[in-house]
Amino acid sequence: MAYVITDPCIDVKDGDCTTACPVDCIYEGGRSFYIHPDECINCGLCLSVCPVDAILFDEDIAGHKQAYIAANREFFGPDVTGWGAPGGWERGRTSPLDHPLMAAFPVRKATTMTAG
């Protein structure tokens, strides 16, 4: 069981969830952040701060979004970063790479948020 980052994070990537995570198990790729499934302690704190509702609990994910469960795990594997289980984010541990699922996602045009 773990929390999973899904497509709404792609090209948004504001990093708010990383400041909420008590075990620093959220890592930065090129177009998306990724949660390490073996380091996540399922506290749910990240869920409450994500402005685009990109974070889901794996057991609640249905349909095509289930592919993001594997994508979060495989980001750390030999075919993407090869990081394995770093044991927590540390300064400088970011990657320009993405899992192919995220990399293939259509580029999200920047949106302008206006008040009032």
Residue 18: name the closest of 45, 54, 39 by CA: 45
- With contact defined as beta carbons under 8 Å apart, do 103 and 37 qualify? no
Residues near 62 by beta carbon (within 8 Å), at least 6 away in sequence: none
Closest approach of ligand SF4 to the CB of residue 79, in Å: 22
Buried-exposed string 62-87: b where 16+ CB fall within 10 A, e elsewhere: eeeeeebbebbbbbbeeebbeeeeee
Closest approach of ligand SF4 to the CB of residue 83, in Å: 16
Q: Which is nearer to ligand SF4, 13 or 66 (CB)?
A: 13
Using CB under 6 A, list all residues that contact ligand SF4.
3, 5, 9, 12-17, 20-21, 23, 25-26, 33, 35, 40-46, 49-50, 52, 54-55
Q: Which is nearer to ligand SF4, 49 or 103 (CB)?
A: 49
Q: Which is nearer to ligand SF4, 25 or 102 (CB)?
A: 25
Closest approach of ligand SF4 to the CB of residue 73, in Å: 13
